[in-house]
Each structure stands twice: as structure tokens, then as C-alpha cells.
Amino acid sequence: MRKICEDFLVQATEQLSGRHWLMRLRSSSALPEMNPGQFVQVHIDDSPTTYLRRPISVNMVDYERNEILLLVAAIGEGTRHLVRKKPGEKVNCLLPLGNSFTMPRSTNERVLLVGGGVGIAPMLFLGKRLVELGVRPTFLLGARTADELLEKDMFNELGDLYLTTEDGSEGEKGYVTNHSILKEKQFDRIATCGPKPMMMSVARYAKQNDIECEVSLENDMACGLGACLCCVEDTTDGHICVCTEGPVLNIKKLLWQL
């Protein structure tokens, strides 16, 4: 798969919540093929203490405009500098990196996409791809509060949307794995991304119900190319670099205690 490393122009930066921002970046050339689950390594050029690129999941791709959408959680100095970029400024990106989610074998598969916090980002891209294949996905999104439930309108346009918040301010109160939809409906395939405890709970539910399940790991990554070895994960196949052999892995390959 073709990769590029080039300067993208910031088209817009929109604050979605207190710490979440949506960035729209445009390439001057045709974008390479990208698949749901892949990520971008973004260079932070105006933060004196940020030496390494930051990995950010691809939230959406607009091939007609040569644009990508990145959902950024501004939680460190590097990402806080990134979201301050103004329209017309440049952001250097290396993409696409990593592997992608497995597509259903038929349009009859019942697919559940579970996202928590900023982990909803690849779920939107995946949902769009599923719709293009003729599959109507079910989305289950969780956050601490209603303010942190992001891009709800975009998810709602693609499939059936269910929500949870830890404080009960929107949707059902609690965690995603406590939502009543998991008792009311049956699924053939699950894809999930978010905090590790959430993904482990989803994986446990999938294993108990014999459902195919893939998770998108969020291990710390520096190079994105498998050279620095800081994102290594133990699997049934031995040690792997999440940035090259992931970030998407079937739970059957993980050594999580489920």
C-alpha cells in the first residue's frame, strides 16, 4: 500500500468538547488508499518539548477533496500545540500506517462497533465503509459525560446508535458493556476502540458469546514503522509491533486474561 509523507494544509479546526478537536487536513495531491483502523503519524513542529510524531486514527477520508479528518484529544503538550493550528497552516503527516479491520463476509452479518472516548474515531470511518458494502452497523458509544459523546449526528446517519455515559447525562448510565442492547440483540462481529479496560470488557463479552471480535490497540507509538519497538505487544504469535502488525488485532491473538 502506497504511503506518503507530506505537508497537509489545515482547512478547519473545530472544538467538539473541552479537550476534543476535529481537524480537517487537505493534501495537495491524490490521497493513497486508506482503510478503517489505519492511523497517521503527525509531526508537531512548534512544540519545543515534543520530539516524536503523534499517532492519530483516521476519523474519515474525503477522496474528492483530498482531505482527512482527525479527531484529536488535546491531553499533552504536543496535541495541545497541534489543535492550535489555524486554517492555512501546515501539518506534516506520514500515512497510512498499520493494518485495518476485517470486513464482513456477507451483508447479512450483524456488526457492532463499540467506541469509547476518542476511540470512536476509527468507528466512524469503519461504519461508512460498512454502509458502502451494504451492511447497516450498530454503534455503541460511551463517554464520561454527554459533552464527550462526539460526532453523534454523523454516526446516526450511518446506522443504529446507542449511547452510554458514566454520569447518566445521556443514554444509559454506566459503561458500554452494561448497555441493554447487548442483551436484546445478537451480533456476529464486533469491532472496538477506546480505553484498554473498556476494550477488555468488550472482548470478554465477545468471547463469552462466541462472537468474532477485533480491537484497535492504543499502545504508545513513536516511529510508526516498527523500528523503535516501544509499542510491542505479547500475542500468541510472540512479540509484535502494534504499529506495523496492528493496531487492529483479533482477540484470539491477544494474551489478555478474559
Show binding-site residues: 54-57, 78-79, 223, 228, 231, 243
Helix (H) or strand (E) holding 243: helix 242-245
Binding-site residue ranges for FAD: 54-57, 78-79
- CA dist 225 and 53 (Å) reads 12
Residue 176 DSSP label: G
Closest Cα partner for 57 from 124, 122, 127? 122
Binding-site residue ranges for [2Fe-2S] cluster: 223, 228, 231, 243
Query: Cβ distance 36 to 101 under 8 Å?
Result: yes
* Number of other CB atoms surrounding residue 186 within 10 Å: 10
Q: Which residue is listed with cell 473545530? A: 14
